[in-house]
Amino acid sequence: MTFKIKTSVAKRFRKFNKDLGLRQSASLDLMPDFFETNRLSPTQHLGPNMKSLENHLEKRINASIAIVRAIESTQTKPTQAMLAALFESLPEKAKRKLPPSFEQALQNTLAHKPITPQLPESLPEKKDLREVLKNIEMVKPTFGKPYLKVNMEYDELKSLKYKYHVYHD
């Protein structure tokens, strides 16, 4: 089968294929597919279609914004106003005054070094906690927030949960 094409069109088509890195037959095969899937005509100009699509999307977005604003004005703000009115009528609770001796004892306690229970170094809980903390590493993904990852066998984690009576996942 032969095609008659102007020389200028053939040169332009070859340059186009060379820029895309496609064979001429492959690009000719892709062209009708493009027009059929996008329901376009080669004689049709894309400018008005894209503009009309853009205008349609903008109208839908504006309509969505109007719906959200209507919901806010008819539902959220009245509910907030009712709650504010309800709480305004409540009297403020008077703070209970502690007896002076207890208050003084509390201040004396807070002024001194905080009390921390002294635990023996050889507690198995402390050892287990150290092992878990050693196996934690920070992961910084390309997208999203950094998170902590525990490098531990599932059976080991399961036994720790059983040992410390943690029955949820």
Q: What is the pLDDT of residue 35?
A: 85
Domain for residue 113, yes or no?
no
Hey, what's the torsion of the CAs at 55, 61, 64, 70, to 10 degrees? -90
Domain for residue 83, yes or no?
no
- Per-residue pLDDT 10s for the chain (169 aa) are 888 989 999 999 999 999 988 898 898 898 899 888 888 787 877 666 677 888 888 999 999 999 988 888 788 777 777 777 777 766 666 556 656 666 677 676 666 655 555 655 567 788 888 888 898 999 998 888 999 998 988 898 888 888 888 877 6
Query: Could you give the number of structural domains in the chain?
Result: 2
CA 29/CA 35 separation, integer angstroms: 11
Domain for residue 13, yes or no?
yes
CA 80/CA 59 separation, integer angstroms: 30
Structural contact between residues 35 and 41, judged by C-beta atoms closer than 8 angstroms: yes
Range of the domain at 15: 7-44
CA 137/CA 154 separation, integer angstroms: 16
For 79, phi then psi, to 5°, come to -65, -45
Is pTM beyond 0.85 here? no
Structural contact between residues 132 and 160, judged by C-beta atoms closer than 8 angstroms: yes
Q: What is the pLDDT of residue 120?
A: 57
CA 72/CA 80 separation, integer angstroms: 10
Q: What is the pLDDT of residue 15?
A: 93
For 31, phi then psi, to 5°, come to -60, -50
3-state secondary structure 50-105: HHHHHHHHHHHHHHHHHHHHHHHHHHHHHHHHHHHHHHHCCCCCCCCCCCHHHHHH
For residue 134, give both structure tokens: 């050693």
Domain for residue 109, yes or no?
no
Q: What is the pLDDT of residue 127?
A: 84
Q: What is the pLDDT of residue 119?
A: 56
Domain for residue 169, yes or no?
yes
CA 70/CA 143 separation, integer angstroms: 35
Domain for residue 159, yes or no?
yes
Domain for residue 104, yes or no?
no
Domain for residue 130, yes or no?
yes
Owner of token pair 């080669």: 42
